[in-house]
């Protein structure tokens, strides 16, 4: 395959960025999108041009590191797929592909296609954990959990924190991420003891990080590579409202 790549280049957070256009030949349709970028960087190095910086780690759709907007879509045109799992057979010979970083005020560009997503870390640090001492591992049947709750908790825990939900939202809201991280703990017995404290702290951290308000457009769930449901946002809103009322009258 021969492709024309329109790629965002930016030296640093305070520098102005712009698109560069590069042509790449002999791209295998069986290669992943990140492997195609590796091939491009080898070509650039051979031409004496500084390679393009982009985030990657596991390349198995697990870590959530790959964070590219491809032709206007976070992670590209394939549903339920991360950038590293996207294969070049989704494109055609001669295509022009536009590649940008995730765009959000809370995700400032570090360089080229790399963004700073530490705002997600601050939300998790605010309440995405359990402090209750559990001791040694109990027998699997000693703490019964309804199957519906365990299934919902596991679905929420599938969130990999990639940030596609923020990049796809018109308001750059982080509600889907926050609701998933709070939801999977709040649904389980071990997390219920700190449920109110957790949702208040995590929503406060989310607002303080500069994310926008949720308007229920639904693009976050559509862009999510793990198909996190909007139902978790509704649950977070309910839990947050209850926690605020309890705090007022406590």
58, pLDDT greater than 70: yes
CA-to-CA distance for 171 and 217, rounded, in angstroms? Answer: 10
Domain hosting 18: range is: 3-111
Query: Is 40 inside a domain boundary?
Result: yes
3-class DSSP assignment, residue 101: strand
Element (H, E) at 235: helix 231-249
CB atoms within 10 A of CB 222: 16
pLDDT > 90: what percent of the chain? 91
Q: Give the residue-averaged pLDDT of 49-57.
A: 97
CATH of the domain at 22: 3.10.20.30
Is 197 a domain residue? yes
Which of 158, 214, 151 shows the shortest CA–CA distance to 187?
151
Query: How far apart (Å, rounded) are the C-alpha atoms in residues 190 and 101?
Result: 37
Q: CB under 8 Å to 239, separation ≥6 — which residues?
A: 182, 186, 195, 196, 199
Tell me the pLDDT tens digit for each residue of 223-245: 999 999 999 999 999 999 999 99
pLDDT value at position 143? 74
Q: Quick: pLDDT tens for 156-199.
A: 999 999 999 999 999 999 999 999 999 999 999 889 999 999 99
pLDDT band at 112 (very low <50, low <70, confident <90, very high): very high
CATH number at residue 188: 1.10.1060.10
> Which pLDDT value is given to residue 130?
86
Q: pTM of this prediction? A: 0.93
Instruction: Give the chain's radius of gyration (CA, Å).
Output: 20
Q: Which residue has the tokens 């982009």?
A: 54
**Domain-embedded: residue 9:** yes
pLDDT at 133 over 90: no
State yes or no: pLDDT of 131 exceeds 90. Answer: no
Q: What share of the chain is helix, strand, coil (3-state, %, to 5)?
A: 40, 15, 45
Domain count, the chain: 2
Residue 137 lies in a domain: no
Residue found by looking up tokens 């359990």 in the block = 130
């Amino acid at each position: 395959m021969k492709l024309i790549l329109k790629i965002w280049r930016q030296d640093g957070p305070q520098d102005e960025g712009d698109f560069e256009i590069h042509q790449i030949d002999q791209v295998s349709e069986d290669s992943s999108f990140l492997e195609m970028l590796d091939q491009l960087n080898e070509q650039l190095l051979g031409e004496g041009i500084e390679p393009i910086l982009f985030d990657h780690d596991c390349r198995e759709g697990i870590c959530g590191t790959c964070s590219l907007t491809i032709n206007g879509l976070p992670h590209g045109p394939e549903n339920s797929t991360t950038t590293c799992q996207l294969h070049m057979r989704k494109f055609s010979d001669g295509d022009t592909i536009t590649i940008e970083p995730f765009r959000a005020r809370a995700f400032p560009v570090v360089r080229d296609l790399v963004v700073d997503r530490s705002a997600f870390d601050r939300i998790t640090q605010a309440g995405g954990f359990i402090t209750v001492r559990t001791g040694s591992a109990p027998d699997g049947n000693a703490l019964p959990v309804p199957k519906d709750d365990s299934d919902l908790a596991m679905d929420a825990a599938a969130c990999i924190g990639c940030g596609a939900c923020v990049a796809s939202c018109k308001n750059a809201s982080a509600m889907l991420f926050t609701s998933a991280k709070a939801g999977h703990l709040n649904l389980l017995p071990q997390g219920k003891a700190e449920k109110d404290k957790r949702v208040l702290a995590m929503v406060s951290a989310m607002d303080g990080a500069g994310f926008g308000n949720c308007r229920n457009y639904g693009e976050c769930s559509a862009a999510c590579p793990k198909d996190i449901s909007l139902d978790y946002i509704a649950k977070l809103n309910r839990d947050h409202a209850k926690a605020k009322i309890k705090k007022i009258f406590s």
